[in-house]
Amino acid sequence: MEALENRVQPYAWGSLTAIPSLLGQPPTGSPQAELWLGAHPSAPSTLGNGVTLDSLLATSPGTLLGPKVLARFGPRLPFLLKVLAAAQPLSLQAHPTLAQAKAGYAKEEAADVPRSAPHRNYKDDNHKPEIICALTDFHALCGFRRVADSVRLFKGLGLDTSVLEQHGLRGYFEHVMTLPPSARGALVDQLVDASRSPVPGFEAECLLAQRLSTAYPRDIGIVGALLLNLVILKPGEALYLDAGNLHAYLEGTGIELMANSDNVLRGGLTPKHVDVPELLSVLDFRDGPPHVLRPEGEGEATYPTPAPDFRLSRLTLDGERTLPPGLPQILLVTEGSFEAQGQSFGRGRSVFIGADETVTLRGQATIFRATPGL
Ligand SMILES: [Zn+2]
């Protein structure tokens, strides 16, 4: 078992206070958007002796990752755990399937697109399913709202819904995203102006349009955002974002667990590159309400997902609990403290446990536990 020191990502949308408060540190005055716990080469966690977790895993992958992970994923930790603290909306985005990621990556490699180029879509050849579990009320956009409801909202805003009604979500989304820039700006202006008089039943969505317009003036992503389900997770509730799901995190603090990948295709609400044809090729246009995951089970509550790369659970430790060997895992304490192997770990502390270790925890604590989903 190794205590971890984790890297903070200072993205501009981050909260000034949430991550410092979890870590028991004073705010620095700069945004702290994400805390990364894992072995991702661009910001790996480090151990007490300064060695990074990815280099430790490379020294004895068989022992630390275990035979199951080695056979399925090769010599790397298949997941990345994050604390995400959003004060401002993040970009509208979707992630590819494994097959799409492999094909897209191979194509860009063959075309010699530098991996750091701003217009590069596929940074690696992996898929990136993810789960977000709320620590505070957490606002997000997730998947397309039922078309009939979007037609009602857009009609209420005085927008032309004929393309949406005749050609469905794919046809309408493609139409909007490929409008000439001047027509796009005019459409966003019309929507944002109309949203000042809230449409009955869609008051929160209309407020959101105002807010997005302040953060991203005239961004066509505002139209896309208003086609999605607006969800407010209560602490402990979670969303699973599978390949093709169009989503955006808006505000709040959560625990995020994902496959070890950086493949993001954006659809707006960002100054970054938006590749419309590539985005359209991965999007899942099925409509309907989002599936909110609630923890299942006492003591160790799990959030079941189909992803083999990861499994998230929340341990409520009250006394003693032994974690069996077999898979590598990362634990993060969000409340209380536990003691193991003669060391004490309080709120904000985290550890890596190798696949060969049996560890007994003692104490009173809420602990998020990440393992592969095998
Ligand atoms: Zn995402």
Ligand 1 center from residue 275 Cα (angstroms) = 16
State what percent of residues in the chain have pLDDT above 70: 100
Report pLDDT for 72.
96
Ligand 1 center from residue 69 Cα (angstroms) = 24
Residue 164 has pLDDT above 90, yes or no: yes
Span 57-80, average pLDDT: 96
Ligand 1 center from residue 210 Cα (angstroms) = 23
Which DSSP letter does residue 14 get?
B
Is 364:14 a contact under the CB 8 Å cutoff?
Answer: no
For 322-349, letters b (16+ CB in 10 Å) and e give ebeebbbbbbbbbebbbebeeeebebbb
- Asked: is 89-294 a CATH 1.20.120 domain? The reply is no
Residue 190 has pLDDT above 90, yes or no: yes
- Compute CA 333 distance to the chain's CA centroid, rounded to the nearest angstrom: 19
Catalytically annotated residues: 266
Tens of pLDDT, residues 14-44: 999 999 999 999 999 999 999 999 999 889 9
Distance, in Å, from the CA atom of 110 to the CA atom of 87, rounded to the nearest integer, reads 39
Residue 288 has pLDDT above 90, yes or no: yes
Host H or E run for residue 65: helix 61-73
Span 278-283, average pLDDT: 96
Query: Helices in 81-226 by DSSP H: which ranges?
Result: 98-110, 147-156, 162-177, 181-194, 203-215, 221-225
Ligand 1 center from residue 20 Cα (angstroms) = 23
State the CB neighbour count (10 A cutoff) for residue 229: 20
Distance, in Å, from the CA atom of 133 to the CA atom of 235, rounded to the nearest integer, reads 7
Classified as helix, coil or strand, 236 is coil
Ligand 1 center from residue 264 Cα (angstroms) = 7
> Is residue 232 packed enough to be buried (19+ CB in 10 Å), middle (13-18) or exposed (0-12)?
middle
Tens of pLDDT, residues 43-55: 999 998 999 999 9
Q: Which of 292, 317, 309 is nearest to 367 (CA)?
A: 317
Torsion of CA 12, 13, 14, 16, to 10 degrees: 80
Ligand 1 center from residue 130 Cα (angstroms) = 7
Mean pLDDT estimate for the chain: 96
- Beta strands per DSSP E along 11-155: 34-37, 79-86, 92-94, 130-134, 138-144
Report pLDDT for 178.
95
Report pLDDT for 335.
98
State what percent of residues in the chain have pLDDT above 90: 95
Report pLDDT for 141.
98
Q: Can you name the residues that pair with 8 across neighbouring β-strands?
A: 35
Q: Which of 211, 208, 221, 206 is nearest to 271 (CA)?
A: 221
Ligand 1 center from residue 158 Cα (angstroms) = 31
Ligand 1 center from residue 123 Cα (angstroms) = 14
Span 335-343, average pLDDT: 97
Structure-token pair, residue 85: 């603290």
Ligand 1 center from residue 357 Cα (angstroms) = 32
Tens of pLDDT, residues 228-276: 999 999 999 999 999 999 999 999 999 999 999 889 999 999 988 899 9
